[in-house]
């Protein structure tokens, strides 16, 4: 990567971290603090936690489309401004209803896809995977940091202060856009990061992609539902002060991250993706069932959280990789757009559903709800085809007419290790799916040298 590409990637990863940190900070503490708000009920607490998911699902694809027309940076600034206004509204509210409105407004600033599109504008095709990897790392880090910072900050400054911190993070993100994030020379459509509305039918008719969409819906339903009741369980059943919850989350999350690494290697290097994937869905289901019977013992909760986060982290990392392997090479952006919509709808269903169940049937029933979602997902995943062990590869081919693009596609498909190849003249890009262990790199290089000559 050039210095400009590295700067773009790091600054956008930082921007993503600030936004996601602002979204996650309340997750480990809100259900405890919100009980004292006027008008609060378990149903409304669950809705406040998850309201952002519904508005994010509604607006994330439109924001991406608008950014093609009005520019990336203006849409990112608009989205962050909405996020800041939502945080301020929640901070100034003295009832649960104002916080629900603030959280919904935060979700309406749905700039995740726009940030990905801007990363594509600022990096060359052959280095785009590295930029996306940096952004992906920032998402995981923001979640881990929120598990520690949320309990600490809320103890110092209360829920109101926490929402002001979230507002400040959004404003810091806006400053970052103006001062650090580069402005692209050219803004254009990228099939690997953006949605093609005309191709929704193709993606929605793909059974393997739909299984993965249901998977991310279920995973975020389970995560959000769990955190509707977990902070209450830790405080009320285990007697652990909210300020000390991070003492549990930090070692559990660190151990879980280390533990998942061998299984990622087993899935990717040794081509055991499906059995590892299924096993970790079962682990998440087992952890939630464990909370039903063992939720009153500290060390049991510690162990169950370790199992839960190990499963969650691996599945969260594996699902987008599987989307990339399965989606048609020129429809990856569209597939990811549908996938992201399913993710946010899952978060909404998890919080709203868990709040309703908690209010009527108690904490134990929420864990049963999560376990049932995981077991249903496991049943659907059993029928999935083992994913091919391929990687996406984008190559700039320059100006070609349609006939030349078709001939190049055919020649690329003849190279050993190239599973799929689509060359689009209007993009000037070859979209490939390759098996890196079988790819004849010399033949691929020679073909493009001949093309250049």
In a domain, 93, yes or no: yes
| Strand stretches in 294-426, DSSP E | 391-396, 418-424
Q: How confident is the model at residue 426 (pLDDT cuts 50, 70, 90)?
A: confident
In a domain, 197, yes or no: no
**CATH number, domain with residue 418:** 3.30.70.100
Given this model, what pLDDT does residue 133 score?
83
The answer, yes or no, to whether residue 1 has pLDDT greater than 80, is no
Instruction: Select from 355, 388, 421 the last residue of a domain.
Output: 388
- Please give the mean pLDDT across all residues of the chain: 91
Asked whether residue 152 carries a pLDDT value surpassing 70, the answer given is yes
Same domain, residue pair 137 and 4: yes
**Residue 367 pLDDT > 80, yes or no?**
yes
| Residue 453 pLDDT level (bands cut at 50, 70, 90) | low
Using the predicted structure, report yes or no on whether residue 403 has a pLDDT greater than 70: yes
- What confidence tier does 452 reach under pLDDT thresholds 50, 70, 90? low
- The reply to whether 194 falls in a domain is no
Return the higher-pLDDT residue of 31 and 126: 31
Q: Which residues fall within 8 angstroms of residue 384, CB to CB, at 6 or more apart? A: 208, 211, 274
Distance CA 413, CA 72 (A): 35
Same domain, 408 and 422: yes
Looking at 109-118, 266-275, 291-300, which range is the least confident one?
A: 266-275
**In this structure, are 157 and 21 located in the same domain?**
yes
Q: Are 13 and 134 in contact (CB under 8 A)?
A: yes
Residue 131 lies in a domain: yes
Same domain, 396 and 377: no
Domain range for 99 is: 1-182
**What pLDDT is stored for residue 180 in this prediction?**
93
Nearest CA-CA partner of 25 in 91, 72, 77: 91
Over residues 275-296, the pLDDT tens digits come to 999 999 999 999 999 999 988 8
With a pLDDT cut of 90, the percent of the chain lying above it is 64
Residue 191 lies in a domain: no
- Verify that 159 and 298 share a domain, yes or no: no
Residues 75 and 210 in one domain: no
Q: How many domains does the chain have?
A: 3
The answer to whether position 379 is within a domain reads yes
Q: Which long-range contacts (CB under 8 A, 24 or more apart) does 316-323 make?
A: 316/140, 316/219, 317/136, 317/140, 317/260, 317/264, 318/264, 318/267, 318/273, 318/276, 318/277, 318/280, 319/212, 319/215, 319/216, 319/219, 320/136, 322/212, 322/273, 322/277, 322/387, 323/209, 323/212
In the predicted model, what is the mean pLDDT of residues 162-184? 95
Residues 397 and 384 in one domain: no
Report the Cα 118 to chain-centroid distance in Å: 17
* Residue in 178, 195, 180, 29 with CA at minimum distance from that of residue 110: 195
My answer on whether 170 and 235 are in the same domain is no
In the prediction, which pLDDT does 190 show? 81
Quick one: 31 and 62 in the same domain? yes
Pick the last residue of a domain from 388, 413, 429: 388
Report the pLDDT averaged over residues 379-408.
88
Distance between start and end Cα atoms, the chain: 25
Contact 394, 132 (CB under 8 A): no
Write out pLDDT tens, residues 309-345.
999 999 998 998 899 889 988 899 999 999 999 999 9
Nearest to 316 by CA among 333, 340, 297: 340
Q: 394 with 363: CB under 8 angstroms?
A: no
Q: How many CA atoms lie within 13 A of 409 on its CB side?
A: 18
The answer on 125 and 1 residing in a single domain is yes
Specify the DSSP class assigned to residue 362: -
111 pLDDT above the threshold of 80: yes
- Measured from the Cβ of residue 183, the count of other Cβ atoms closer than 10 Å reads 14
Strands (E), 100-259: none
Coil vs helix vs strand at 453: coil
What average pLDDT does this structure show over 160-178? 96
CATH number of the domain to which 322 belongs: 1.20.1250.20
Q: Which of 110-119, 126-135, 243-252, 300-309 has the lowest mean pLDDT?
A: 126-135
Residue 189 lies in a domain: no
**Residues 356 and 283 placed together within one structural domain of the fold:** yes
Last residue of a domain, one of 373, 388, 403: 388
Confidence of residue 115 (pLDDT cuts 50, 70, 90): very high
Does 395 have pLDDT greater than 90?
no
Query: What pLDDT score does 3 carry?
Result: 86
Domain-located, residue 416: yes
Summarised one tens digit per residue, pLDDT across range 233-273 is 999 999 999 999 999 999 999 999 899 889 988 888 888 88
> 349 with 442, same domain?
no
- Is residue 12 within 8 Å of residue 131, measured between CB atoms? yes
Query: How distant is the alpha carbon of residue 22 from its chain centre?
Result: 14
Closest alpha carbon to 342 in 326, 358, 323: 323
pLDDT at 312: 94
């Amino acid at each position: 990567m050039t210095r400009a590409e590295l700067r773009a990637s790091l600054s956008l990863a930082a921007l993503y971290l600030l936004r996601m940190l602002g979204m996650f900070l309340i997750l480990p503490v809100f259900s405890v603090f919100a009980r004292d708000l006027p008008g609060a009920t378990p149903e409304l607490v669950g809705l406040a936690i998850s309201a952002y998911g519904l508005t994010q699902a509604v607006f994330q694809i439109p924001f991406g489309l608008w950014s093609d027309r009005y520019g990336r940076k203006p849409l990112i600034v608009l989205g962050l401004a909405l996020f800041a206004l939502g945080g301020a509204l929640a901070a100034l509210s003295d009832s649960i209803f104002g916080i629900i409105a603030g959280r919904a407004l935060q979700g309406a600033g749905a700039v995740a896809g726009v940030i990905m599109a801007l990363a594509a504008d600022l990096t060359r095709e052959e280095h785009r995977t590295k930029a996306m990897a940096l952004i992906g790392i920032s998402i995981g880090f923001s979640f881990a940091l929120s598990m520690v910072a949320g309990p600490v900050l809320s103890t110092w400054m209360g829920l109101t202060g926490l929402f002001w911190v979230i507002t400040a993070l959004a404003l810091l993100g806006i400053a970052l856009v103006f001062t650090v994030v580069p402005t692209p020379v050219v803004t254009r459509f990228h099939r690997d990061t953006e949605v093609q509305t005309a191709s929704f039918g193709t993606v929605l008719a793909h059974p393997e992609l739909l299984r993965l969409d249901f998977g991310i819906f279920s995973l975020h339903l389970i995560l959000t539902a769990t955190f509707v009741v977990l902070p209450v369980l830790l405080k009320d059943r285990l007697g652990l002060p909210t300020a000390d919850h991070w003492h549990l989350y930090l070692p559990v999350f660190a151990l879980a991250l280390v533990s998942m690494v061998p299984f990622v290697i087993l899935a990717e290097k040794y081509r055991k993706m499906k059995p590892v994937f299924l096993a970790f869905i079962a682990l998440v289901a087992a952890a939630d069932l464990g909370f039903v019977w063992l939720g009153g013992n500290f060390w049991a909760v510690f162990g169950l959280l370790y199992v839960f986060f190990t499963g969650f982290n691996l599945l969260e990392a594996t699902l987008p990789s599987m989307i990339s392997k399965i989606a048609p090479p020129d429809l990856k952006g569209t597939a990811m757009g549908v996938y992201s919509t399913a993710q946010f709808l899952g978060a909404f269903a998890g919080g709203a559903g868990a709040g309703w169940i908690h209010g009527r049937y108690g904490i134990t029933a929420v864990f049963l709800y999560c376990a049932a979602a995981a077991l249903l997902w496991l049943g659907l995943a059993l029928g999935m085809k083992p994913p091919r062990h391929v990687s996406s590869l984008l190559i700039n081919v320059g100006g070609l007419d349609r006939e030349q693009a078709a001939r190049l596609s055919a020649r690329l498909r003849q190279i050993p290790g190239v599973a799929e190849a689509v060359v689009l003249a209007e993009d000037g890009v070859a979209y490939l799916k390759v098996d890196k262990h079988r790819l004849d790199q010399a033949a691929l290089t020679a073909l493009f040298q001949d093309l250049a000559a």
